[in-house]
Amino acid sequence: MYPILEKRALAEQIWLMKILAPRVARSARPGQFVIVRADERGERIPLTISDYDAAEGSVTLVIQAIGASTRKICALGEGDALADFAGPLGRPSEFVSTPPEELRRKRFLFVAGGVGAAPVYPQVKWLHERGVAADVIVGAKTRGMLIYTEPMRAVAGQLHIATDDGSEGDKGLVTQVLERLVGEQGRRYDECIAIGPMAMMKFVALATKKYGLKTTVSLNTLMVDGTGMCGACRVTVGGRTRFTCVEGPEFDGHEVDFDEAMRRQGMYRNEEQRAAAIEAE
């Protein structure tokens, strides 16, 4: 069992949970994820690692209660425990293995949408600790849905915020900020990393393609076994089938078939609705 050391609300229906999982904390790297289950009969939910502390043996996750299984996890409190906590899974971000001299010459632009700010944070922090500049654009529907703003401000070069209703930062979408920075102001970046809803990543990738800006996206696909055996997480990248759990979750955003990925993501919507109805009875 994996005890919950800390739980706090970050925004409406968005929770931070710090879990005691020393083995995972020791080997986690930016970009990786875990698969968790609330109890033995629970669904396996992939969650990107938001932070980790090898000394404390803890791994921090940010979970949005949007379906029956995530609601079940979010209903647990400090002192409760998760039945399963498998990881770290997936490949670390590419920059983790880039030689330090090469890395320090690069300028990164991160784009985070909604809870995507949580997995972006450890990446920007990791780069900041190595003296690498990274600007960040964070977007959310409204001010109350913004998460990780202050920790991000502490590690980002420049932090730009966009909200759909203009309650904080620019009114509009992250892609509009991106167009302003890269298109109008001509800022130069060597790489863009976008993490958030599939549709956001699709439009970020379309925008950066115009400017020839290399773009990496982190795909939050369905997952079952997390070992490359079941095929649930398959996506098409550059015309080839790839398994997100073992070959991802990060891929070249200009090569991902986002429309297919979004179709597959919606495949179990009916089952989700049935589970929510049973839960409400």
Q: Binding of ligand FES at residue 248 (CB under 6 A)?
A: no
Q: Binding of ligand FES at residue 86 (CB under 6 A)?
A: no
Return the DSSP state at 237.
E
Asked if 67 and 91 touch (Cβ cutoff 8 Å), the reply is no
State the minimum distance, in angstroms, from the CB of residue 43 to ligand FES. Answer: 12
Please name the residues in contact with 180: beta carbons below 8 A apart, sequence gap of 6 or more: none
Give me the numbers of helices (H) and strands (E) for the chain, helices first please. Answer: 10, 16
Burial class from Cβ neighbours inside 10 Å (0-12, 13-18, 19+) for residue 32 reads buried
Query: Do the strands 234-237 and 81-82 form a parallel or antiparallel pair, or are they unpaired?
Result: unpaired
Q: Looking at the DSSP assignment, which residues form a beta bridge with residue 45? A: 36
Q: Binding of ligand FES at residue 124 (CB under 6 A)?
A: no
Q: Binding of ligand FES at residue 223 (CB under 6 A)?
A: yes
Q: Binding of ligand FES at residue 15 (CB under 6 A)?
A: no
State the minimum distance, in angstroms, from the CB of residue 10 to ligand FES. Answer: 27
State the minimum distance, in angstroms, from the CB of residue 251 to ligand FES. Answer: 13
Considering only the stretches 4-12, 63-71, 136-144, 226-234, report the one whose residues sit in contact with ligand FES under the rule CB under 6 A: 226-234
Considering only the stretches 4-12, 184-192, 224-232, 260-268, report the one whose residues sit in contact with ligand FES under the rule CB under 6 A: 224-232
* CA dist., res. 276 & res. 71, Å (int): 9
Q: Binding of ligand FES at residue 243 (CB under 6 A)?
A: yes
Q: Binding of ligand FES at residue 226 (CB under 6 A)?
A: yes
Q: What is the gyration radius of the CA atoms in the chain, in angstroms?
A: 18
Residues binding ligand FES (CB under 6 A): 223-226, 228-233, 243, 245
